Amino acid sequence: MNQEEELLQANEAFILRTASFVLGRPVSRSDDEYSVALSAFWEAARTHDPSKGSLQTYASVVIRHRLIDYIRGNTRYRQEISVEPDVFSGEAGNESADENLRNEIGKKLVQELPDNQLAQEINELSAILRYYQIDFFDLPGCCPKAHKTRAVCLKAARFVCAIAELLARLRRTLKLPAAEMETAVPIARKLLDKFRKYIIASVEIEAGDFPGIQEYFRGKEE
């Protein structure tokens, strides 16, 4: 097995997962979108500067941009989505929380959930949240303090999870479907703006395969 084959074998699941996230639906190796994502990954591998971060972090941005370019140019998608051009211009956000505090939060979570798959869950969720420029370990500071506010935010998150079209739109645009949430939940726009990170993280936790993290956060609701 040569170096390229080893690199692909190590990253194929990541490529499929990234493409599925961007499109808001499962992607298989037989899909055209996988070919686009694969080409973007090789582009990222050729141009990656290790001093600026991991290959997967960089590749996730390149894959997302190439898939969005593909979607916007493909007539099959034109009637399905409407995307603002500047939505996809940002890079992954810089870590802003104090490193020591983040480490302490991480240790506490690991202690409370001593599950063998916990580290993998945290890594996968962290990668997803980076698309939204959210740091996983910033979440405790983003949580509403009032139980009533937290409850309405969680209701809003579950509303998005329950409607595939809204979940897919959130993942494409990286923006909450505010108009629908205000009407259906209902929830005030100021709460959506203030607790955006908490709501988005709640959506991805509920919609994803994170049983350990789900158990932890559901326990905190009680």
- Express each pLDDT in 46-88 by its tens digit: 998 888 778 888 888 888 888 877 876 765 554 444 333 333 2
* Judgement on whether residues 145 and 121 belong to the same structural domain of the protein: yes
In terms of DSSP H, where are the helices of the chain?
3-23, 32-47, 55-73, 75-78, 99-112, 118-131, 139-142, 147-162, 164-173, 178-184, 189-194, 196-207, 211-221
- What is residue 99's predicted lDDT score, i.e. its pLDDT? 44
Poorest-pLDDT segment among 5-14, 56-65, 93-102, 203-212: 93-102
What is the per-residue pLDDT for 163? 94
Of these ranges, 17-21, 27-31, 184-188, the one predicted with the greatest mean pLDDT is: 184-188
Give the domain range for residue 15.
3-88
With beta carbons less than 8 A apart as the criterion, state whether 210 and 121 touch: yes
Do residue 82 and residue 133 come from a single domain? no
Same domain? 204 vs 153: yes
At 6, which amino acid appears?
E
* Domain C-terminal end among 42, 65, 88: 88
Give the rounded percent of residues in the chain with a pLDDT score beyond 70.
75
Are 61 and 111 found together in one domain?
Answer: no
- Is the pLDDT score of 201 beyond 60? yes
In the chain, % of residues over pLDDT 90? 33
Higher pLDDT, 198 or 214: 198
177 domain residue, yes or no: yes
Would the pTM count as exceeding 0.85? Answer: no
77-104 burial, b if ≥16 CB within 10 A, otherwise e?
eeeeeebeeeebeeebeeeebeeeebee
Q: Is residue 94 part of a domain?
A: no
Q: Does residue 102 contact residue 137 with C-beta atoms inside 8 Å? A: yes
143 in a domain, yes or no? yes
Question: What's the pLDDT tens digit per position in 136-172?
Answer: 877 878 889 899 999 999 999 999 999 989 998 898 8
